[in-house]
Structure 1
Amino acid sequence: MIKGFKEFIMRGNVIDLAVAVVIGAAFTLVVNAFVDGIINPLIGLFFQADSLNDLTIGVFAVGAVIGAIINFLAVALVVYFVFVYPMNKLKERQAAKAGVVDEAELPSEQQLLVQIRDLLEKQSS
């Protein structure tokens, strides 16, 4: 049972989904701060709306936006270094143990075509 759970957690899509949820939640704060600090005051300059009660003309709450952006970057940084980076390293080690060849080590199509051309030239001469 524990082995099955470990395999479930080690699948890439579970970690990717968890990262997406955390980043999405953090980005929601950025969007909300932007709307509350920039968009709503701009709308408040033109219309009187109940949702913009505390608005004073000409004052934008940019501090909330900057704070939300910093918070988002901090969350993204922590998620990357705590979850994504270690998981990628673990996958690389598992692939190396399994003997999987990295695509970067394989020759490109152009290199293969040049090799085939050279071999054909050798055979014909």
Structure 2
Amino acid sequence: MSEKKAPSVFQGFKAFLTRGNVVDLAVAVVIGAAFSGIVNSVVKGIINPVVGALGTQSLDSYSSCIKGPCTGTGASATGVRILWGSVLGSTLNFLITAAVVYFLMVLPMSRFLARQEARRKAKEGTQEVTEVTELEVLKEIRDALVAQHGSVRTRS
């Protein structure tokens, strides 16, 4: 009797790495990192200056003092401050980044994929119609042959 040997740790690791989803995930992470550079450039180079022209570019200086006296900034600051400007700035940055990703990348790609799918379905629909038409022609030929040769037994 031969005993089944358990795979070694190295073999298991090799199988894990060569699975398709691990490679796909690695590619997605690398592409995502490169893509984030593009999105950050659009936000910093185009969107933030436009927002800055309408108001302020940095909301980090806005805060409220909940326990005074609140004086100074940085390490020399006294009192307890709520830095709501920083939270608001981060939230706006997230919303702007999400809008850039959606309107410049996701929406056009979705429309492109929908057009590709419609073309594929139209092409498949055309092939099905052709096949049905050929079947109908063959049936007509069969019926014509039956009519010529008299009562020949046919299968339907």
| TM bin (shorter chain) | 0.3 to 0.5
- Greater share of residues in helix: 1
**Higher relative contact order by CA 8 Å / sep ≥ 6: 1 or 2?**
1
Structure that is richer in strand per residue? 2
The structure having more radius of gyration, on CA atoms, is 2
TM value normalised by structure 1: 0.41
Give TM-score, length-normalised by structure 2: 0.34
